[in-house]
């Protein structure tokens, strides 16, 4: 009567696994890819007013922790040249007339793991003190002369970070040093150099996606074979540069022009998780294997981005099915949680959940207030939709004023889906009470969060993207689940009282 | 709570879960094309009449907005009537009227409303406000059901209804749903009505639950809810059993109400009946369904199936 599903499920699972193993063996794809670095795309756009004979920008550094994979310069009608100074700092110069905008783009790979200390390069430029006025340098010498050797790096930092605690005899020299050096960071650098330690300032960006129009400045000292950065504002030394992108070293400003004058620039930082994999595919693409040529890596990058997520949606569906049929979560709509999870990818989990709660709350209030008018279904949904979008516009404005990011992503939250959720929430609240509706909303949120975490798992994305045949294994799981006739966990709870007599 | 022990105990009692019901009963036994006959109350009524099953008397149907103003004429000489959406779910949109004159109608609670308000309500039914899919609907104007004296002592407003699970025409489990104050006079377990299991063999009520709580007395009237002999029991079983031939649904829930003067009438049929009936009966459906399945033979007539049910589930 009920044909067994096991043979089909097992066959599909085996087929999927076989395809994966074959692809892995024949083409040499790694089965357990390790993510050891992240790729960031940085785009520097410069805009100036009036004609300029030249415009210089400093290019990002390469070092033990970061390297540049690819660079693109768009100069329009300008002529671009790249020069490197003796310290290794590269400089891009645009020359010519006509255009007053230009941009530079780089893919920068940042290693996640701690790299071994680099072989000592020439650090003599970082010991020079001759660019500063003599009295300042002399003051710095007097300050550092009093410091016990071996602790000079930390003591210098403490003197600069905490001016109130300066020792009696040094107050005058420290004051001269601070006022004479231009900035506190520079004073600290001079202090370090006077103590015989190579020191510099670095201009950095936080490794977070966003648009920046200012570089942060961190003084650094070379000690025990590596650079250690100081955070003067936060009074911490040494601080980790793990989540920083070091753009340049030295105090020079990022953009300089021949005549000076107003220059606007901004750097947009984006994560490019798949770039490494694209590289990897290029290495294997020349293999004659059919599977290698028919890989998803051969799709255009923007399509790849879409499939990276899409391929995980079936797993999301499997999870939703399991949570509904095995655990017994009651959710609004069957696949509503998946759609909400995809929307969360635009907003982030915390913010997304907050928004979900807020929108359902506002929508419910609207629905409640228009209930007495007994509107037809579609116009009624339209009213809710309009209010939801209006509320969102207001929220974006407020968030923008308060300086929150992520707000731009909000628009992509599927509004219509939210509207339907609100309507279902209302119907359930009417029929089975507010408690049931809230439980349902909470489990929808929970299922969406679980699904979100799963589809955001980068390793899983890469695995399914590289081995799409693993979807067969997912189908096998779905088939098996389709024949689960046991109790749901919530039913054990629902009927538990019946077992008390036995 | 030891989950494994609970699972084991529930299996021992033959309790049926949602997955089991969907995969082994609703899926294989209820053909999709049979659903409209139970989702549309007007269609259910017509089919019931063809099969000799009584339903509440239909005074009229309002199909289009222009007919709405005919409502007063439709109920002329009938002081009591019920307005219900044809495709409504969970009792939504149902309005009871106890009496009326030229100007106003009076609800059973004594509340008086203007005719315009009632005709407006009918108009909202037509536009699909109370049908779950939001599709355009029709409004049925039906006879008012009067509570049978047997149940008067254990009913708060409303009318109790008898729910019977029918496996291929064999009644397998039954309960009566008693409205309470908490359920606001509705016979809906989710909303707080009492569910009292009925022994199919004898037609008397046994244990009862409100929510998950076992109750022995009606919370509002204080009368005991166990040991009530349901009147017309054989006829009720027969109506439920006929639902199989009528709809072709192999697994259905029949809702029957007992009118004081007309006896049992079929209120509606349900293609996806819930599982709470097991709580009301303190018994599992799985064992009973397997017993019914083992005893079932093709060609069994209605009386034979009723007799079978009474002997199996005495």
Q: Which residues contact A7 (CB under 8 A, 6 or more apart)?
A: none
Tokens of A473: 């294994």
Model confidence pLDDT, tens digit, residues B42-86: 889 999 999 989 999 888 888 888 888 888 888 888 888 889 888
Residue A230 and residue A219 in contact, taking contact as beta carbons nearer than 8 Å: yes
- Best residue of B10, B11, B210 to probe chain A, by most A CBs closer than 10 Å: B10
Residue of B12, B19, B128 lying closest to A488 (CB–CB): B19
If one compares A65 and B140, the residue with the highest pLDDT of the two is B140
Nearest chain A residue (CA) to B24: A485
Cβ contact (<8 Å) for B279 and A375? no
Per-residue confidence at B236, pLDDT binned at 50, 70, 90? Answer: very high
A502 neighbourhood in chain B, CB within 8 Å: 9, 12-13
Domains of chain A: 37-117+254-272 (2.60.40.2250), 124-197 (no CATH), 313-456 (no CATH)
* Apex A428 CA angle, B278 and A370, nearest 5: 155
Among A117-126, A303-312, B140-149, which stretch is predicted with the lowest mean pLDDT? Answer: A117-126
- Best residue of A485, A493, A502 to probe chain B, by most B CBs closer than 10 Å: A485
Among A301-315, A362-376, A412-426, which stretch is predicted with the lowest mean pLDDT? Answer: A412-426
Reduce the DSSP state of residue B178 to 3 states and report it.
strand
Q: Give A327→chain B minimum CA distance, Å.
A: 11
Per-residue confidence at A502, pLDDT binned at 50, 70, 90? Answer: very low
Element at A472 (helix H, strand E): helix A471-482
Model confidence pLDDT, tens digit, residues A197-216: 888 888 888 888 888 888 88
Tokens of A356: 């979900």
Cβ contact (<8 Å) for A498 and B15? yes
Separation in Å, CA A387 to CA A336, A391, A394, A419, B225: 20, 6, 10, 10, 49
* Apex A493 CA angle, A490 and A494, nearest 5: 85
Q: Which residues contact A264 (CB under 8 A, 6 or more apart)?
A: A46, A47, A48, A213
Q: Name the pTM for this structure.
A: 0.68
Cβ contact (<8 Å) for B13 and A484? no
What is the mean predicted confidence (pLDDT) over A82-91?
Answer: 81
Domain residue extents for chain B: 3-53+148-312, 58-142
Cβ contact (<8 Å) for A497 and B92? no
Cβ contact (<8 Å) for A487 and B12? no
Q: Give B24→chain A minimum CA distance, Å.
A: 8
Taking 50 as the threshold, does the pLDDT of residue A1 lie above it? Answer: no
- The predicted structure's pLDDT at residue A477: 92
Separation in Å, CA A380 to CA A54, A316, A419, B64, B94: 61, 31, 10, 21, 21
Taking 80 as the threshold, does the pLDDT of residue A311 lie above it? Answer: yes
Inform me whether the C-beta atom of residue B17 falls under 8 Å from chain A C-beta atoms: yes
- The predicted structure's pLDDT at residue A95: 86
d(Cα A413, Cα A355) in Å, to the nearest integer? 9
Cβ contact (<8 Å) for A492 and B10? yes
Q: Quote helix, strand, coil % in chain A, to nearest 5.
A: 50, 20, 30
- Best residue of B6, B24, B90, B206 to probe chain A, by most A CBs closer than 10 Å: B6
Residue A479 and residue A322 in contact, taking contact as beta carbons nearer than 8 Å: no
- The predicted structure's pLDDT at residue A364: 85
Residue of A436, A491, A498 lying closest to B282 (CB–CB): A498
Residue A256 and residue A214 in contact, taking contact as beta carbons nearer than 8 Å: no
Q: Which residues contact B22 (CB under 8 A, 6 or more apart)?
A: none
d(Cα A437, Cα A361) in Å, to the nearest integer? 12
Taking 90 as the threshold, does the pLDDT of residue B286 lie above it? Answer: yes
If one compares A77 and B264, the residue with the highest pLDDT of the two is B264
Integer-rounded Cα Rg, in Å, for chain B is 20
Comparing CA positions, the residue from A26, A19, A22 lying closest to residue A468 is: A19
State the complex-level ipTM: 0.78
The length of chain A is 502
Taking 60 as the threshold, does the pLDDT of residue A413 lie above it? Answer: no
Q: Which residues contact A241 (CB under 8 A, 6 or more apart)?
A: A65, A204, A218, A227, A229
Domain B3-53+148-312 has CATH 3.30.470.20: yes
Inform me whether the C-beta atom of residue B33 falls under 8 Å from chain A C-beta atoms: no
Residues of A with CB under 8 A from a CB of B: 2, 325, 328, 374-378, 427, 430-433, 436, 483-489, 491-499, 501-502
Chain B, 194 to 253: residues with Cβ < 8 Å from chain A are 212, 214
With b meaning 16 or more CB within 10 Å and e meaning fewer, what string describes A405-419? ebbebbeebebebbb
Cβ contact (<8 Å) for B134 and A377? yes
A493 neighbourhood in chain B, CB within 8 Å: 1
Residue of A374, A431, A492 lying closest to B6 (CB–CB): A492
Taking 70 as the threshold, does the pLDDT of residue A468 lie above it? Answer: yes
A436 neighbourhood in chain B, CB within 8 Å: 190
Cβ contact (<8 Å) for A325 and B10? no
d(Cα A273, Cα A112) in Å, to the nearest integer? 13
Q: Give A46→chain B minimum CA distance, Å.
A: 56
What is the mean predicted confidence (pLDDT) over A148-169?
Answer: 75
Q: What percent of chain A is predicted at pLDDT more than 70?
A: 85
Residue A296 and residue A468 in contact, taking contact as beta carbons nearer than 8 Å: yes
- The predicted structure's pLDDT at residue A259: 81
B128 neighbourhood in chain A, CB within 8 Å: 376-377
Q: How far is CA A114 from the centre of its chain?
A: 20
Cβ contact (<8 Å) for B10 and A487? yes
Separation in Å, CA A343 to CA A385, A451, B98: 16, 11, 51
With b meaning 16 or more CB within 10 Å and e meaning fewer, what string describes A39-64? bbbbbbbbbbeeebeebbbbbbbebe
Taking 60 as the threshold, does the pLDDT of residue A284 lie above it? Answer: no
Tokens of A131: 């660019």
- The predicted structure's pLDDT at residue B266: 93
Inform me whether the C-beta atom of residue B31 falls under 8 Å from chain A C-beta atoms: no
Cβ contact (<8 Å) for A498 and B190? no
d(Cα A79, Cα A53) in Å, to the nearest integer? 11
Question: What is the overall mean pLDDT for chain A?
Answer: 79
The length of chain B is 314
Reduce the DSSP state of residue B141 to 3 states and report it.
strand
What is the mean predicted confidence (pLDDT) over B1-5?
Answer: 79
Give the strands of the sheet with A263-271, arranged side by side. A66-74, A101-111, A37-48, A263-271, A210-212
A326 burial class (0-12, 13-18, 19+ CB within 10 angstroms)? middle
A492 neighbourhood in chain B, CB within 8 Å: 1, 3, 6-7, 10
B206 neighbourhood in chain A, CB within 8 Å: none
Residue A108 and residue A40 in contact, taking contact as beta carbons nearer than 8 Å: yes
Tokens of A27: 């083409």
């Amino acid at each position: 009567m009920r044909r067994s599903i096991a043979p089909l499920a097992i066959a599909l699972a085996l087929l999927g696994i076989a395809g994966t193993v074959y692809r892995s063996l024949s083409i040499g794809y790694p089965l357990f890819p390790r993510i050891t670095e992240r790729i960031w795309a940085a785009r520097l756009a410069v805009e100036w007013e009036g004609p300029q004979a030249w415009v210089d920008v400093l290019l990002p550094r390469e070092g033990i922790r970061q390297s540049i994979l690819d660079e693109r310069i768009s100069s329009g009608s300008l002529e671009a040249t790249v020069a490197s100074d003796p310290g290794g700092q590269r400089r891009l110069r645009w020359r010519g007339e006509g255009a007053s905008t230009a941009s530079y783009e780089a893919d920068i790979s940042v290693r996640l793991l701690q790299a071994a200390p680099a072989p000592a390069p020439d650090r003599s430029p970082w010991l020079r003190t001759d660019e500063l006025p003599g009295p300042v340098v002399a003051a710095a010498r007097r300050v550092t002369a009093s410091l016990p050797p071996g602790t000079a790096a930390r003591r210098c930092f403490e003197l600069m970070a905490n001016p109130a605690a300066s020792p009696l005899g040094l107050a005058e020299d420290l004051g001269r040093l601070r006022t004479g050096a231009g900035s506190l960071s520079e004073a600290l650098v001079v202090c370090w150099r006077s103590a015989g330690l190579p020191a510099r300032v670095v201009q950095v960006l936080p490794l977070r996606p966003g648009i920046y129009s200012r570089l942060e400045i961190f003084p650094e000292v070379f000690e025990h074979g590596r650079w250690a950065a100081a955070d003067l504002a936060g009074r911490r030394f040494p601080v980790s540069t793990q989540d920083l992108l070091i753009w340049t070293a030295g105090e020079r400003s990022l953009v300089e022009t021949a005549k000076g004058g107003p220059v606007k620039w901004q750097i947009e930082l984006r994560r490019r998780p798949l770039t490494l994999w694209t590289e990897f595919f290029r290495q294997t693409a020349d293999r004659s294997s059919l599977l290698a040529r028919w890989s998803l890596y051969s799709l255009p990058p923007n399509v790849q981005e879409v499939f990276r997520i899409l391929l995980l949606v079936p797993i999301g569906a499997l999870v939703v099915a399991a949570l509904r049929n095995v655990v017994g979560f009651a959710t609004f709509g069957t696949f509503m949680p998946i759609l909400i999870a995809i929307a969360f990818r635009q907003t982030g989990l915390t913010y997304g959940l907050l928004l979900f709660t807020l929108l359902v709350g506002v929508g419910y209030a609207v629905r409640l207030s228009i209930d007495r008018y007994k509107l037809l279904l579609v116009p009624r949904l339209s009213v809710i939709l309009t209010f939801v979008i209006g509320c969102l516009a207001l929220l974006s404005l407020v968030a923008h004023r308060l300086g929150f990011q992520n707000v731009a992503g909000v628009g992509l939250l599927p509004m219509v889906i939210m509207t339907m959720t609100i309507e279902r929430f209302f119907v359930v609240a009417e029929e089975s009470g507010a408690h049931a509706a809230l439980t349902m909303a909470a489990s929808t949120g929970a299922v969406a969060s679980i699904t979100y975490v799963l589809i955001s798992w980068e390793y899983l994305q890469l695995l399914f993207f590289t081995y799409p045949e693993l979807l067969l294994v997912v189908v096998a799981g779905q088939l098996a689940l389709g024949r689960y006739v046991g109790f749901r966990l919530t039913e054990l709870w629902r009927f538990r009282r019946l077992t008390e007599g036995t | 709570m030891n989950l494994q022990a609970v699972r084991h105990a529930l299996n021992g009692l033959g309790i049926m879960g949602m997955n089991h019901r969907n995969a082994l009963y609703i899926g294989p036994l209820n053909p999709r094309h049979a659903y409209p006959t139970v989702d549309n109350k007007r269609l259910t009524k017509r089919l019931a009449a063809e099969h000799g099953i009584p339903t509440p008397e239909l005074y009229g149907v309002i199909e289009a907005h222009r007919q709405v103003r005919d409502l007063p004429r439709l109920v002329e000489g009938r002081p009591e009537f019920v307005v219900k959406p044809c495709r409504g779910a969970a009792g939504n949109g149902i309005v009871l009227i106890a009496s009326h004159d030229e100007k106003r109608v009076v609800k059973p609670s004594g509340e008086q409303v203007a005719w315009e308000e009632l005709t407006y309500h009918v108009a909202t039914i037509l536009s699909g406000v109370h049908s779950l899919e939001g599709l355009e609907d029709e409004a049925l104007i039906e006879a008012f059901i009067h509570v049978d004296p047997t149940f008067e002592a254990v009913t708060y407003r409303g009318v109790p209804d008898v729910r019977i699970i029918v496996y291929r025409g064999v009644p397998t489990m039954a309960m009566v749903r008693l409205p309470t104050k908490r359920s606001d006079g509705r016979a809906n377990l989710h909303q707080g009505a009492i569910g009292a299991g009925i022994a199919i063999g004898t037609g008397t009520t046994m244990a009862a639950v409100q929510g998950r709580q076992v109750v022995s007395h009606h919370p509002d009237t204080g009368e005991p809810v166990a040991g009530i002999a349901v009147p017309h029991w054989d006829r009720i079983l027969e109506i439920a059993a006929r639902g199989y031939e009528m709809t072709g649904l192999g697994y259905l829930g029949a809702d029957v109400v007992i009118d004081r003067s007309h006896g049992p009438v079929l209120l509606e049929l349900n293609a996806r009946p819930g599982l709470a009936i097991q709580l009301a009966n303190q018994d599992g459906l799985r064992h009973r369904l397997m017993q019914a399945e083992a005893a079932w033979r093709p060609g069994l007539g209605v009386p034979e199936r009723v007799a079978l049910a009474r002997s199996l589930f005495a």
